[in-house]
Amino acid sequence: MPELPDLEVYAGNLTKQLSQKEVADVFVFAEDKCNASQEKLQQSLISARVDSFRRSGKEMHINFSNGQKIGIHLMLMGRFDIVSDLEPVPFKLLAIRFAKQYLTVSDPKIWAKITLNPVESKVPDALSADFTPSYLVTKLMEKKTKQIKAFLIDQSIVRGIGNAYVDEILWEAKISPESKAGKLPSDVVNCLHHSICHVLQRSVKEILAINPDIINGEIREFMRVHNKNRQHCPNGFPIKVSKITSKTTYYTDEQRIF
Amino acid sequence: MPELPDLEVYAGNLTKQLSQKEVADVFVFAEDKCNASQEKLQQSLISARVDSFRRSGKEMHINFSNGQKIGIHLMLMGRFDIVSDLEPVPFKLLAIRFAKQYLTVSDPKIWAKITLNPVESKVPDALSADFTPSYLVTKLMEKKTKQIKAFLIDQSIVRGIGNAYVDEILWEAKISPESKAGKLPSDVVNCLHHSICHVLQRSVKEILAINPDIINGEIREFMRVHNKNRQHCPNGFPIKVSKITSKTTYYTDEQRIF
DNA sequence: GCCCCAAACAACGA
DNA sequence: CTCGTTGTTTGGGG
């Protein structure tokens, strides 16, 4: 459910709520969703303090004062909660106990993944400085026959863009999702790069404006086209729905195909 | 160009013309199209006699009296010729000299392939006894999501059917080329098996009736639907043309989709 | 709304 | 009308 902007806001709020807190205990409820045992996590984390929560692509990274890290991928339905009692939280995968509260990671589908000390990805994050226009050009040429929508949500090309925000980005850039990566003119590529950064950063602000303290759930009401509740985009064009590479896609006739 | 029925007729005619003839010499004009050098072929074949030419899938096999074999795949444009002088034959890949004539294999695209002692394929030939209805059923289930046209021309499933005859077969069986392999009812599968054998064997006779001595070139004028010169099939239905898995396909609305 | 794998399909070259 | 290789898309499952 959460995509990059949601996770970005969660990171700030979780950092605000939990930084400097000392880990009292760690519980793993689904060993097969974690690359380390409960014992290993306890050894690694107990008595360390939280430094920060940082988003990396679609994962959340928790950095601890002793240099240990935890990576969490929420997949489709995972969520964070901060609770005083574990009992009421259903579908728990992980809980970290602090003095008088717990951070839980839960997922009714049990698809979320927990990683102790995840390796740094070499793929640029969509909001990182190394995701440059020239990197984008190079990859577009390498993947010239790939549909631009499939290209942008491919986490091995750029990390963080998901199926909802890619529609917003392509709509803002006025590019049809079916365009071939290798066919975008260079002015359109520059426009696309700008739209990626602009849409994602603007969405962070829009989420904060609606729910400044959010650490789970999604806010999508501000979306321009990837939005079940709209029939028209802000320019008044009717929103169309179809499947592009098996994924539900919202777009309008304003978007040019290349 | 040549498909199974053409090759079947070539095999009979080449056997008729060349069997018992003794190999005087062998010339290889394109070493990269052959798995053996000219010297190796000369050592293997000189002074052996031709036993027979036999079609195997879309390949021609020449069997020699000393147990050696040559496999020839003509690909799209390759051809056999029997000539008294090599000079006029363009695009030669291979020539076998007999007492006073040559058998040549030529190909303007240089795609044809020559194989000394090809290994026997374990995939059944479409006209062999091991291509049974029950084999067909098994493979249809294994490849259940594959389009039936793509299925039938896949040489790893059954050898010998190409893009022209598959259209004739599917038209005779009244099966749409887009049908999924796994969805054919069992009576339709039996009908399909019968059509495969019937269309191919009948076409051998039709070619022989038109040109009994043919050893190259193609005869397609008798084709019911895969035929540029027809607008209607024999039943009067208009012939439609489209692309199925990138291949030109002729069919009519008589053919049911499963 | 996610990611993975296997299988099918498309694009290109020889 | 042919085949092989590579990369992309599809479909099913967790």
CATH code, domain carrying B159: 1.10.8.50
CB A163 within 7 Å, strand C? yes
Residues A224 and A175 in one domain: yes
CB A146 within 7 Å, strand D? yes
Domain stops at, among A116, A144, A164: A116
> What is residue A193's predicted lDDT score, i.e. its pLDDT?
98
Can you list the alpha helix ranges (DSSP code H) found in A48-127? none
**Contact between residue A221 and residue A233 where contact means Cβ atoms under 8 Å apart:** no
- Cα separation of B145 and B172, whole Å? 22
Query: CB atoms < 10 A from the CB of A245, how many?
Result: 15
Domain stops at, among B90, B116, B142: B116
Q: Let me know how long chain B is.
A: 258
CA of A103 to C1' of D5 (A): 50
Place of tokens 């051809």: B79
Instruction: Give the residue with minimal CA–C1' separation from D12.
Output: B145
CB A164 within 7 Å, strand C? yes
Residues B169 and B65 in one domain: no
Domain of residue A192, residue span: 133-251
| Mean pLDDT value of segment B200-208 | 98
Residues B94 and B151 in one domain: no
Say if B70 falls within a structural domain. yes
Say if A128 falls within a structural domain. no
CB B144 within 7 Å, strand C? yes
pTM for the structure as a whole: 0.93
CA of B195 to C1' of C7 (A): 27
Residues B230 and B160 in one domain: yes
Which nucleotides of chain D are near protein (any atom < 7 Å from a CB)?
A: 1-4, 7-11, 14
Residues A67 and A104 in one domain: yes
Say if A20 falls within a structural domain. yes
Q: Measured CA to C1', what is the nucleotide nearest B3? A: D1
Say if B121 falls within a structural domain. no
**Contact between residue B89 and residue B153 where contact means Cβ atoms under 8 Å apart:** no
Backbone angle region of A85, left / alpha / beta, with phi > 0 → left and psi within -120 to 50 → alpha: beta
Q: Measured CA to C1', what is the nucleotide nearest B245? A: C9
Q: What is the pLDDT of residues B142-194, one digit of tens each?
A: 999 999 999 999 999 999 999 999 999 999 999 999 999 999 999 999 999 99
Residues A111 and A144 in one domain: no
CA of B133 to C1' of C9 (A): 27
Residues B80 and B138 in one domain: no
Q: Which residues in 52-81 of chain B line strand D, with CB less than 7 A from it?
A: 57-58, 73, 75-77
CB B139 within 7 Å, strand C? no
- Cα separation of A96 and A106, whole Å? 12
Domain stops at, among A116, A149, A171: A116
The average confidence (pLDDT) of chain B is: 97
Say if B123 falls within a structural domain. no
Q: What is the pLDDT of residues A110-150, one digit of tens each?
A: 999 999 999 999 999 999 999 999 999 999 999 999 999 99
Residues A98 and A154 in one domain: no
The model's confidence at residue A1, banded by pLDDT at 50, 70 and 90, is confident
Residues B111 and B147 in one domain: no
Q: How many domains does chain A have?
A: 2
Q: Which residues in 135-194 of chain B line strand D, with CB less than 7 A from it?
A: 145, 153, 155, 162-164, 167
Query: In the predicted model, is pLDDT for residue B133 greater than 80?
Result: yes
Residues B96 and B137 in one domain: no
| Mean pLDDT value of segment A176-204 | 98
Residues B180 and B99 in one domain: no
Say if B241 falls within a structural domain. yes
CATH number at residue A47: 3.20.190.10
Residues B108 and B195 in one domain: no
Q: How many CA atoms lie within 13 A of A68 on its CB side?
A: 17
Say if A198 falls within a structural domain. yes
